[in-house]
Amino acid sequence: MIFGFSGGGKSTLARKLGEKLGIEPVHMDRLHWLPGWVESSREYKISRLAPVLERDRWIIEGNYRNVLWKERTERADTIIFVDVNRFTCFKNAFLRSLKYKNQTRPDMGEGCNEKFDFEFAKWILFDGRKKHRRNISFIDAVKAAGKETHIFKSIRQMNRWLDNLETERNDNK
């Protein structure tokens, strides 16, 4: 289970982890955004995500705490919080917007061409950071409950972890 800040590298981490483990990751943004940046219903997301949670192995990337968060937490054996600083996230999101200009990136809902506007920049730098303490408390709680947890502060940390990961693992992420 991978969650964290916009632009921090969650989707890339999920993709690379999926390649290493032979698991197609589920990106919550793909479930949330319908063509033309229309938000899907909570019920729609639940109907698509619930069968994934029944699998022996899965990688789910994204936040959306109102969509089977408790179930994801309970069934995951490893929980990763991508806690990259706001300025790196801003830079990454801006560069991603250039890379996918007038295109839909692979981890986004079809028909949602990449955009980088004031509202998204504000989300990355300020609004999306308001629950940082809650995220740290969550990681502390699941770690105390015996889950494997990781807090990645940089892309370099994520890549080092991936490089050292055993490819034979059969656990859920």
The model's pLDDT over 63-111, given as tens digits with 9 standing for 90+, comes to 999 999 999 999 999 999 999 999 999 999 999 999 999 999 999 988 9
Q: Could you give all domains of the chain from N- to C-terminal order, each with its CATH number?
A: 2-164 (3.40.50.300)
Distance CA 8, CA 90 (A): 8
Reported pTM: 0.92
101-140: buried (b, 16+ CB within 10 Å) or exposed (e) per residue?
eeebbebbbeebebebeeebeebbbeebeeeeeebeebbe
Coil/strand/helix, residue 82: strand
Confidence of residue 165 (pLDDT cuts 50, 70, 90): confident
Q: Are 77 and 6 in contact (CB under 8 A)?
A: no
Q: Are 14 and 36 in contact (CB under 8 A)?
A: no
